[in-house]
Amino acid sequence: MQTPLMKDLELVQEEEQKEVFEDKRANTDIIKEKVEKKEPVSDNNYLNCSASHQSLISVNVNKLDKLMDIVGELVISEAMVVEKPDLKGLVLENFEKAARQLQKITNELQDIVMSIRMVPLDTTFQKMNRIVRDMSKKQSKEIALNIIGEDTEVDKNIIEHISDPLMHLVRNAIDHGLECPEERLEKGKPKMGTVTLEAKNEGGDVFIIIRDDGKGLEREKILERARRNGLVNRDESDIPDKEVFSYIFLPGFSTNDKVTEFSGRGVGMDVDETR
């Protein structure tokens, strides 16, 4: 004997669902295109949305967080329906089709909502150009900034937290790493130094790499400062490079003897490490 639920479920056909979903998506695209062009919306004038014409809007992050919470609840509700023990033993072909479609749409919605918070790093990376120009003039150094992977996307909240550390690391590379033009020429290097800022995806993680073609970390200079700060109490030859170089991440540690606009306060590398 059919229950009202089973009778209703039999009315749900896969092809009908597909047509409904396609019609909704098509109508949404048409209305969106009309609104953007300030044209009247009609049912008989279909337009194709080109991928090259994109519009952007600013959305409050709190609203996105709320949307993500709602989608999370939807995913849980969908799982409760699909995996409900009471329905496991029933042969409901139309219900199974509808459940699969619900699961597919829920997964797509979850992916889209997650991607909404993702923004490219290009704006953050381009801000470093000004730092390079300013320091190049003030320190009489010729510097080229090489940016790679600026289209890499990360969560907006992450960008807000890494902007200052990136700025400090670029300054540090220029101030401590790159030599003046005369010194570079004496070493057989190009007159112009290079700072490379690179972002890449690996195994689901985003890596941001900052490197320069300067002189690198100076072991003896770091050890000298470590001795002054009472950090070295054994034979220095027994201290591996990794341990010596880790001193620069200690609070208040700086290899500069005087405080300048860009360094010498010992504040920065320890903060960068914690970020």
What are 30-47's pLDDT values in tens digits?
A: 444 544 454 444 444 434
Mean pLDDT highest for which of 26-35, 55-64, 239-248, 261-270? 239-248
- Token reading at 14: 């896969």
- Domain residue spans of the chain: 1-56, 60-116, 120-274
- Token reading at 273: 């490490």
229 or 48: whose pLDDT is higher?
229
List C-alpha distances in Å: 226 to 46, 244, 263, 269.
72, 9, 17, 15
pLDDT at 142: 95
Query: CA-CA distance, 270 to 249, in Å (whole number)?
Result: 4
Sheet hosting strand 205-212, strand order edge to edge: 143-148, 193-202, 205-212
Mean pLDDT of all residues in 40-55: 47
CATH of 120-274, one of 3.30.565.10, 3.40.800.10, 3.40.710.10, 2.60.40.10: 3.30.565.10
Query: CA-CA distance, 12 to 102, in Å (whole number)?
Result: 13
Return the closest-CA partner of residue 114 out of 160, 64, 174. Answer: 64
* Same fold: 60-116 with 120-274: no
- Range from 89-93, 106-110, 203-207, 223-227 carrying the lowest mean pLDDT: 89-93
What are 248-271's pLDDT values in tens digits?
A: 888 878 877 666 666 655 555 655
150, 121 Cβ separation under 8 angstroms: yes
Query: CA-CA distance, 73 to 82, in Å (whole number)?
Result: 14
pTM above 0.75, yes or no: no
Cα-Cα-Cα-Cα dihedral sign, residues 189, 195, 201, 207: positive
pLDDT at 197: 96
231, 247 Cβ separation under 8 angstroms: yes
**CATH code for 60-116?**
1.10.287
List C-alpha distances in Å: 132 to 140, 145, 161, 183, 207.
11, 7, 21, 19, 22
Return the closest-CA partner of residue 222 out of 162, 266, 160, 158. Answer: 266
197, 210 Cβ separation under 8 angstroms: yes
Mean pLDDT of all residues in 188-215: 94
